[in-house]
Amino acid sequence: MAETGFWQQVVEQLSTSVMVVDPAGRILAVNPAAERLLGLASAVVRGKDAHELLHRDAGGGTPPRERCPLLRALTERTAARGEGDRYLRGDGRLVTISWSASPLTDGGSFQGVAVLFTDVTGDHGTRRERAAYTSALEDLNERLTLVAEITDVLGQTLETDEALARLGRLLVPRVADWAAVDFRSGSGQVHRVAVTGPVGRYVALEGMRERLPDPGEGDHSPLVHVLNGGDPLLLDGVETASPSPGSPLAAVHGDFLRAVGATSAITVPLGSRRQITGALTLVRTDPAHPFDSGDLDVVSDIGRRVGLVIDNARRFGRQRAVAEAMQRNLLAPLPQPGRLRLAARYQPAPAGSQVGGDWYDAFELKDGTLALVIGDVVGHDLTAAAGMAQLHGILRSMAWDHTGPPGSVVDRLDDAMPAITTVPMATLVLARIEGHPQTGPWTLRWTSAGHPPPLLLTPGGHAQYLEAGQGLVLGAQLGTDVSRPNATRSLPPGSTLLLYTDGLIELPGSDLDTGLGRLRRHALALADAPLDTLCDQLLARMPPGTTDDVALLVLRLPADDQLVAGEAWYGSEAGR
């Protein structure tokens, strides 16, 4: 749970007894007050069955387990309370107790219950006071659970907007009636980036996003105070209703408090004193339920954690932007040799995922042959993107004047990779399209380094994965003398060749064959579409959910009727 050391000290200093019981009913821990009440040391009770060790009926016997309300609360995973139950002390005496149990969860997983109990033997006059104290402890447990839940939920995203949306849903209306988040940039500018409130009220404020006025010098208003590194602040009804002194920024914030009818407000920094990202303001509008100092402590802890999440999201966003820019700048314009047509797409991974090392390339070799490449560097970070850039340049250089089969080029790349790149492992397909660029006939010659097989669509509604030419991934056969395999296939007029990375076919919870079958089905349905339409629709129809980026490279040969027209045109041009 949040701030474990601090809250452990709080529990140990409580005069009310606390016992933690796991889902099976075993005692995990007791605080010193519980040890004194029970007359048993923590080491003695830990691991024992709470019902068998403690619970007794009026005659001193152990009640049946099915009649134990605490065990029933464990089974149903709900809160429970009781009055007049009897516990057996270590000295053999029975004490009458009042108790309350609250479920404990961690990341959605049920961990047991926390039992708060007090000795009410012969002390009926103080029961009401003790019940109020128990209720306060239950409230403390609820606050701790909230902090843990917010930490868990916000940690599941690296997108700032999504983190703020989740924060608003967790805080309103559970903790507050309104929540506002202000960010401070490196230049000192303040932006109100999120406002969350009750549905249907003050709708204009709910989506308010604006740059706020600059804070004035010497301004000690609550928002400016917190943004400048001051302590968290708790404002009562008088302070929230009074005109805002100081800078225009303070005036805007004060206008917001009055517009939503604030009767109590808390403003806390996002982040730590050393790194303040912004401020979080929570508002309550019911005079009967103002914030108190306990709320201030909990919201301050939430602010620290939210600040860390936002800072991580910003760092991730900057890294992702650099990597995506690097990838897109390396994806050079495609050539259009003769009557061959090419199209390609690069699709970054979905929001919240890290950028990868996928790339495609198409270029004419020294002898006029067209080379096609699709590749994927292992990893999902800026290092993977940088490694992709290295392989991209090296492979072009090695292939440009090489007249041998593609496998020999990839063999050279495999040998050189440890010495001149930072890439530990990668997959790729390198292919040559051999034949006259105007009239053909065309032959595909290729090799694969552990990459998904090319998909060939031919006239008549046929589709075939080209499984031949498969070798080990780059980086896996270092030091061996095994040459990479090559494969050859004639390409009939009107055929379409698809090269792609695994992000297009991999889906969580689904196997590879299912993904390949889905790609084949959608590609066949789009076989006659223009290349740009085929690429766009293929990306749209393949179901989302993958956390990888996608590269797609498509080649189309002219059909028979286009070849006839092309031959006539080419012959007339050649004769001039």
- Beta bridge partners, 184, equal 190
Q: What does the pLDDT average to over 209-222?
A: 60
Residue that wins the pLDDT comparison between 308 and 82: 82
Shortest CA distance to 495 belongs to which of 564, 419, 413, 557? 557
Q: Using the predicted structure, report yes or no on whether residue 355 has a pLDDT greater than 60.
A: no
Q: Does residue 369 sit in helix, strand or coil?
A: coil
- pLDDT tens for each residue of 162-191: 667 777 778 888 888 998 888 876 666 787
Range from 70-84, 421-435, 531-545 carrying the lowest mean pLDDT: 531-545
Q: For residue 452, what are the CA distances in angstroms to 130, 213, 449, 502, 507?
A: 68, 55, 9, 7, 14
- Beta bridge partners, 358, equal 376
- pLDDT tens for each residue of 34-47: 999 999 999 999 99
Q: Using the predicted structure, report yes or no on whether residue 29 has a pLDDT greater than 80.
A: yes
Task: Answer yes or no: are the C-beta atoms of 486 and 447 closer than 8 Å.
Answer: yes
Q: What does the pLDDT average to over 265-286?
A: 85
* Distance from chain centroid for Cα 229: 29
Cα–Cα distance for residue pair 414/404, rounded to 1 Å: 16
CB atoms closer than 10 angstroms to residue 23: 15
- In the chain, how long is the greatest CA-to-CA distance? 118
Task: Answer yes or no: are the C-beta atoms of 41 and 35 closer than 8 Å.
Answer: yes
Q: Does residue 150 sit in helix, strand or coil?
A: helix
Q: Using the predicted structure, report yes or no on whether residue 570 has a pLDDT greater than 50.
A: no
Q: CA torsion angle for 5, 10, 16, 22 (degrees, to 10)? A: -20
> Hey, what are 173's tokens?
């209306």
Residue that wins the pLDDT comparison between 139 and 171: 171
Q: Supply the pLDDT for residue 191.
A: 79
Q: Using the predicted structure, report yes or no on whether residue 229 has a pLDDT greater than 90.
A: no
Cα–Cα distance for residue pair 547/533, rounded to 1 Å: 24
CB atoms closer than 10 angstroms to residue 423: 23
Q: For residue 330, what are the CA distances in angstroms to 399, 452, 500?
A: 17, 22, 17
Q: Supply the pLDDT for residue 114.
A: 92
pTM: 0.49
Q: Does residue 238 sit in helix, strand or coil?
A: helix
Task: Answer yes or no: are the C-beta atoms of 390 and 384 closer than 8 Å.
Answer: no
Task: Answer yes or no: are the C-beta atoms of 51 and 62 closer than 8 Å.
Answer: yes
Q: For residue 125, what are the CA distances in angstroms to 100, 131, 456?
A: 19, 11, 86
Cβ within 8 Å of residue 539, ≥6 positions away: 345, 347, 504, 550, 552
Q: Supply the pLDDT for residue 58.
A: 83
Q: Supply the pLDDT for residue 3.
A: 43
Q: For residue 460, what are the CA distances in angstroms to 60, 394, 495, 528?
A: 87, 39, 10, 10
